Amino acid sequence: MMELENYHAFHFVGLGGVGMCALARILIEKGITVSGSDVSDSAVLQELRNKGAAVFIGHKRENINNADVLVVSSAIGMDNPELQEAKSRDLPIFHRYDVLAAIFKWGKGIAVAGAHGKSTTSAMIGQIFHVAKMDPTIVLGGFTDYLKGNSCLGHGEHIIAEADESDGSFLKFATFLSVVTNIEDDHLDHYGTVENIRKAFVEFLNHVTYKDGGAIVCTDSEGVQAILPQIKKKVISFGINDSAEYRAVNKRYEKQNMLFDVYHYKEKLGTVSLQIPGIHNVRDALGAIVVALYCGISFETSVKALSVFSGVKRRFQTKMKEHGVWIVDDYAHHPTEIAATLKAAKEMGRHRVICAFQPHRYSRTKLLREEFSEAFIDADVLFFTDIYAAGESPIQGIDGTLIPNLVKRRFPDKPINYVKNVEDLPKELYKVIKPDDILITMGAGNIYMAGEMLANLMKGKGLSSDYKK
């Protein structure tokens, strides 16, 4: 187990990554020397420079000359020259989650895991604690307005963090509260079987180390329900279902805000208003409220905090609202996330939902292709582009045409378009966009660029002449 105080100069390989920069920022604020490298420069790296980090563009052996410990993520290949140099010098090499696990030792850790919703739930918890002036340390998997980034070093007793189950690293944490939003058949490339995934979540929930801690779980998830008998810690349940201890009921839209009432058993605690739509965000908000209540924060404070929560970057993030068109970007890349996001968009009013989707990883596309074929039911018009490989090697017979062909077979009346290159999407979208449309760019890769380019095109030229009023 890593002890942060044993090291003085940390070098992050892939410093600009969302998980890496969050940790680097906290170490810098703690007074620890930080350096790092990445393949290209970015606003995130410039911010870290301004805070005192030594930043290198490009991976070279000499970049680690002043480091006494190396931090890597799962995205770093074994052939990375900095990693090779560290091995040749016998420098300690840690995964980024080793660093996060060490940070958890600073106080009462609140770790949020699940196939979907962990970024939003942990961000909502952070916002509530922020408004409650609890001064927490926060490490998120996405950027938020209230942090002006995705992490902060606090001086309170709580550490709030997203816990990634994808590679099993969430089992490293010693927690006060372990939160699970859902359990599904994702990350089979690592776990092999659904049974192994569930075993990992059982271990995660039973790893609560504080006597007064507990497991906070959403029992709307069948995967969560399946493991409940194996949980040895105190369990607090939440969800839409009638058996949950904390329930969200009477969900409705008012002026594009999502409202719902919260009950603790039969006692109504009050009403919550969210700026971000969808039943999945209701569940995330409810989980955040339960965490806050467990930590002594009033329901009223949670309501206040959640009413101004504007979301996490790339989680139903508004890119433009002009000319009667709403352009949104969303990170959804698993069929369940896709279906939930599109359903939320459709429920908001009488408008067309146009979805531009970029599949993520050849392996996920292959494993979940049938689920993908069903996930786009609430989209009125669909655009698909080629697979974002995320470092994977191609798989024979698996390419960007697979999902649109399957969707066309299931929904033959839907307008379905395949545009191989992301950079060609904006001009194609521009041809069809019209007032009252919601356009959602969707996926874990660089699909967000298409929405941004379309927004710039519309700001410069307005709508296509066919649709100008």
The CATH number linked to 90 is: 3.40.50.720
Is pLDDT larger for residue 296 or for residue 347? Answer: 296
Amino acid 344: pLDDT: 83
With 0-12 CB in 10 A as exposed, 13-18 as middle and 19+ as buried, what is 339?
A: buried
Look at the chain and report how many structural domains it folds into.
Answer: 3
Residue carrying structure tokens 């970015």: 42
Question: At 404, is the pLDDT very low, low, confident or very high (cuts 50, 70, 90)?
Answer: very high
Check whether residue 185 and residue 280 sit in a common domain.
yes
Beta bridge partners of 216: 179, 236
- The pLDDT of residue 469 is above 70: no
Check whether residue 361 and residue 409 sit in a common domain.
yes
Check whether residue 270 and residue 383 sit in a common domain.
no
Mean predicted confidence (pLDDT) in 62-89 = 92
Check whether residue 148 and residue 165 sit in a common domain.
yes
Cα separation values, 343 from 311, 375, 455, Å: 17, 10, 23
pTM over 0.85: no
Amino acid 133: pLDDT: 97
Domain of 283, in residue numbers:
106-307
Mean predicted confidence (pLDDT) in 410-437 = 93
Amino acid 286: pLDDT: 98
Check whether residue 365 and residue 423 sit in a common domain.
yes
Count, in order, helices (H) and strands (E) of the chain: 16, 21
Separation CA 136–CA 277 (nearest Å): 27
Out of 276, 307, 338, pick the residue that ends a domain.
307
- Residue 319 phi, psi dihedral angles, 5° rounding: -100, -30
Amino acid 326: pLDDT: 87
Residue 468 located in a structural domain:
no
Residue 467 located in a structural domain:
no
Closest CA to 342 of 312, 381, 370: 381
Residue 469 located in a structural domain:
no
- Which residue type is seen at 442? M
Check whether residue 89 and residue 114 sit in a common domain.
no
Check whether residue 82 and residue 184 sit in a common domain.
no
Out of 264, 287, 307, pick the residue that ends a domain.
307
Check whether residue 257 and residue 183 sit in a common domain.
yes
Check whether residue 63 and residue 116 sit in a common domain.
no
Give just the sign of the alpha carbon dihedral 73, 79, 80, 84.
Answer: positive
Question: At 391, is the pLDDT very low, low, confident or very high (cuts 50, 70, 90)?
Answer: confident
Check whether residue 249 and residue 342 sit in a common domain.
no
Separation CA 353–CA 438 (nearest Å): 5
Question: At 50, is the pLDDT very low, low, confident or very high (cuts 50, 70, 90)?
Answer: very high
pLDDT 10s digits, 180-194: 999 876 655 665 677
Check whether residue 139 and residue 264 sit in a common domain.
yes
CATH number at residue 417: 3.90.190.20
Element (H, E) at 384: strand 381-384
Closest CA to 343 of 376, 315, 369, 374: 376
Check whether residue 192 and residue 83 sit in a common domain.
no
- The pLDDT of residue 467 is above 60: no
Out of 307, 340, 357, pick the residue that ends a domain.
307
